[in-house]
């Protein structure tokens, strides 16, 4: 991130969101809403204001396990390294303004809109962790049931517990720990898809870390099946098994809490033998490996981009085998978990592919389109506007001269042709008379060939 900030050819918009996208490949116009930081360019991130701020709230970066003040630096490697003020938490006491020697605090800042013109767009909106509903496997009800991202922050050296595994209920070191796989994934009631084996490997990695720090701790993983499909993943999985981490092939059906000890009683069902009696285990802490879900903020952004999505909500690529980088809109490419659940290594590869795809497109200086586009016969058209409302790309408008398809925005999907009651809207090269001629020619060739073969046989 620091290298990106220092690159003179890269302009960063932090605390910002995209509000509007218009135009087409090579000529996009993007409107950005930038929220105020309430500190100006003089701020050097020294932290003096943070030490005097009396307003405290939960830290988003620490997954709610730690706290922060109303004025804060987002995290240790934040870019830019400047303080920002959370006005929902701030009590307007003015302590930060008084202590700042650089006079960097500015409570009068307002949101501002910026418009930029770009030739291409990379969609890299990331992912969100599936949040189980309150009570599901004890989440949100029992203090010692965490999600994997909660646990990641607990294990981090700069986390709220400084890499110490501690029970949230009493701050003590647990003697036993269970990871539960496939929470919110491979489940027709929640998410039917698998998160690409990422959850499996995160649990294996974290179990290994815990076992390295606490050799005497009982560490177990309850799984349906382990999906270790990356390079050297299977070997790593075997090493973790040999280190003493217990793998229990089962599905967790219920978690109950002992009110006095806050320990968790876990009911496990044998997935290989459904007739076997259920087993009950006791653990001091449980970590839920939740599914990777599409970013919740992306649905609003996609109202402007009009990109196709798969049934799981992730973005659909141009071709599932031959082109997994480009979207179905020319000039917009995909990178990372916006396209689907994937590990860091896959994300880096796709990001390089996305940069290469746009670089190739922009350096050419022009973009050639295939003329498989909608065309409208104005003599047949009744201007009912059915096609206008149903076009997913906003490529059809009602002008003074009638219904007009935009050849650049149109993607030739054929929806307009299928709903037109007067057959005025057609797709170039795919009109009925053309298809009928092709079918007639095909059948004529077959019939002649069949007749000749019958003559030879006779």
Secondary structure (H, E, C), the chain: CHHHHHCCCCCCCCCEEEEEEEEECCEEEEEEEECCCCECCCCCCCCHHHHHCCCEEECCCCCCCCEEECEECCCCCCCCCCCEECCCCCCCCCHHHHHCCCCCECCCCCCEEEEEEECCEEECCCEEECCCCCCHHHCCCCCCEEEHHHHHHHHCCCCCCCCCCCCCCCCCCCCEEEEEEEECCCCCCCCCCCCCCHHHHHHHHHHHHHHHHCCCCEEEEEECCCCCCCCCHHHHHHHHHHCCCEEEEEEEEEEEECCCCCCEEEEEEECCCCCCCCEEEEECEEEEEECEEECCCHHHHHHHHCCCECCCCCECCCECCCECCECCCCCEEECHHHCCCCCHHHHHHHHHHHHHHHHHHHHHCCCCCCCCCEEECCCCCCCCCHHHHHCCCCCEEEECCEEEECCCCCCCCCHHHHHCCCCCEEECCCCHHHHHHHHHHHHHHHHHHHHHHHHHHC
Has residue 215 been placed in a domain? yes
Q: In sequence order, which residues have a C-beta less than 8 Å from that of residue 171 and are 6 or more positions away?
A: none
Biggest CA pair distance of the chain: 107
The Cα–Cα gap between 165 and 373 comes to: 59
Has residue 332 been placed in a domain? no
The reported pLDDT for the residue numbered 355 is: 94
> Distance from first CA to last CA of the chain, Å, rounded?
80
- Does position 457 have pLDDT exceeding 60, yes or no? no
The reported pLDDT for the residue numbered 451 is: 61
Indicate if 55 and 132 belong to the same structural domain.
no
The reported pLDDT for the residue numbered 257 is: 95
The reported pLDDT for the residue numbered 43 is: 95
Has residue 383 been placed in a domain? yes
pLDDT bin (cut points 50, 70, 90) of residue 456 is low
CATH assignment of the domain containing 256: 3.50.50.60
The string of pLDDT tens digits covering residues 203-233 is: 999 999 999 999 999 999 999 999 998 889 9
The reported pLDDT for the residue numbered 432 is: 74
Has residue 452 been placed in a domain? no
pLDDT bin (cut points 50, 70, 90) of residue 368 is confident
The string of pLDDT tens digits covering residues 70-110 is: 999 998 889 999 999 999 999 999 999 999 999 999 999 99
Has residue 22 been placed in a domain? yes
Indicate if 135 and 98 belong to the same structural domain.
no
pLDDT bin (cut points 50, 70, 90) of residue 449 is low
Q: Can you read off the two tokens belonging to residue 281?
A: 């285990």
The reported pLDDT for the residue numbered 15 is: 94
Indicate if 381 and 251 belong to the same structural domain.
no
Domain count along the chain? 3
The Cα–Cα gap between 230 and 198 comes to: 10
Question: What is the chain's mean pLDDT, rounded?
Answer: 91
pLDDT bin (cut points 50, 70, 90) of residue 445 is confident
CB 198 within 8 A of CB 191: no
Angle at 149 between CA 145 and CA 155, to 5 degrees: 90
The string of pLDDT tens digits covering residues 282-324 is: 999 999 999 999 999 888 899 888 888 999 999 999 888 889 9
CB 337 within 8 A of CB 347: yes
The Cα–Cα gap between 326 and 348 comes to: 15
Q: In sequence order, which residues have a C-beta less than 8 Å from that of residue 5 and are 6 or more positions away?
A: 12, 79, 80
Residue range of the domain that includes 197: 128-293
pTM: 0.84
Indicate if 81 and 150 belong to the same structural domain.
no
Indicate if 270 and 138 belong to the same structural domain.
yes
Indicate if 132 and 114 belong to the same structural domain.
no
Indicate if 102 and 169 belong to the same structural domain.
no
Q: Can you read off the two tokens belonging to residue 184?
A: 């919110």
Nearest CA among 330, 299, 331, 332 for reference residue 314: 299
Indicate if 248 and 133 belong to the same structural domain.
yes
CATH assignment of the domain containing 99: 3.30.70.20
Indicate if 136 and 260 belong to the same structural domain.
yes
Domain boundary among 118, 152, 172: 118
The string of pLDDT tens digits covering residues 140-191 is: 999 999 999 999 999 999 999 999 999 999 999 999 999 999 999 999 899 9
Residue range 243-269: mean pLDDT, rounded: 93
Indicate if 140 and 179 belong to the same structural domain.
yes
pLDDT bin (cut points 50, 70, 90) of residue 44 is very high
Has residue 84 been placed in a domain? yes
Domain boundary among 259, 293, 327: 293
Share of the chain above pLDDT 90, in %: 72
The reported pLDDT for the residue numbered 362 is: 86
The reported pLDDT for the residue numbered 371 is: 84
Residue range 415-426: mean pLDDT, rounded: 92
Has residue 337 been placed in a domain? no
Question: Partners of 293 in the beta sheet?
Answer: 128
Indicate if 136 and 283 belong to the same structural domain.
yes
Domain boundary among 118, 141, 158: 118
Has residue 223 been placed in a domain? yes
Residue range 415-430: mean pLDDT, rounded: 90
Indicate if 163 and 102 belong to the same structural domain.
no
């Amino acid at each position: 991130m620091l290298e990106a900030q220092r690159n003179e050819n890269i302009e960063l918009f932090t605390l910002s969101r995209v509000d509007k996208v218009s135009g087409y490949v090579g000529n996009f116009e993007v409107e950005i809403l930038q929220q105020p930081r309430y500190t100006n360019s003089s701020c050097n991130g020294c932290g003096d204001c943070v030490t005097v701020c009396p307003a405290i709230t939960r830290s988003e970066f620490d997954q709610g396990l730690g706290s922060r003040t109303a004025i804060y630096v987002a995290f240790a490697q934040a870019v830019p390294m400047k303080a920002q003020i959370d006005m929902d938490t701030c009590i307007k006491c003015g302590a930060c303004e008084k202590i700042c020697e650089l006079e960097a605090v500015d409570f009068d800042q307002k949101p501002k809109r910026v418009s930029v013109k770009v030739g291409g767009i990379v969609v890299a909106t990331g992912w969100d962790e599936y949040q189980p509903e309150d009570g599901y496997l004890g989440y949100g009800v029992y203090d010692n049931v965490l999600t994997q991202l909660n646990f990641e922050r607990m294990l981090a050296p700069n986390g709220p517990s400084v890499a110490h595994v501690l029970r949230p209920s009493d701050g003590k070191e647990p003697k036993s720990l269970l990871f539960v796989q496939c929470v919110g994934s491979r489940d027709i009631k929640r998410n039917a898809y698998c998160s690409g084996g990422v959850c499996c490997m995160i649990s294996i990695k974290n179990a290994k870390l815990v076992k390295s720090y606490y050799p005497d701790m009982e560490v177990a993983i309850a799984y349906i099946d382990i999906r270790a499909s990356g390079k050297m993943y299977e070997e790593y999985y075997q090493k973790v098994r040999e280190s003493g981490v217990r793998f229990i092939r089962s599905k967790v059906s219920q978690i109950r809490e002992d009110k006095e000890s806050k320990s968790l009683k876990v009911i496990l069902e044998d997935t290989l033998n459904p007739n076997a009696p259920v087993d009950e285990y006791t653990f001091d802490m449980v970590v839920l490996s939740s599914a990777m879900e599409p970013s919740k903020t992306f649905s609003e952004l996609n109202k402007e981009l009009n990109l196709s999505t798969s049934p799981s909500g992730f973005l659909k690529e141009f071709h599932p085998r031959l082109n997994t980088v480009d979207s179905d809109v020319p000039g917009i490419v995909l990178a990372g978990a916006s396209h689907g659940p994937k590990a860091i290594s896959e994300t880096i590869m796709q990001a390089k592919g996305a940069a290469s795809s746009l670089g190739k497109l922009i350096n050419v200086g022009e973009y050639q389109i295939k003329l498989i586009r909608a065309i409208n016969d104005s003599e047949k058209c009744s201007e009912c506007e059915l096609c206008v409302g149903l076009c997913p790309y906003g490529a059809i408008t009602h002008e003074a001269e009638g219904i007009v398809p935009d050849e650049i925005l149109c993607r030739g999907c054929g929806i307009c042709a299928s709903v037109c009651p007067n057959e005025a809207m057609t797709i170039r090269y795919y009109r009925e008379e053309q298809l009928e001629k092709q079918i007639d020619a095909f059948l004529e060739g077959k019939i002649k060939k069949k007749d000749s073969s019958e003559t030879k046989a006779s």
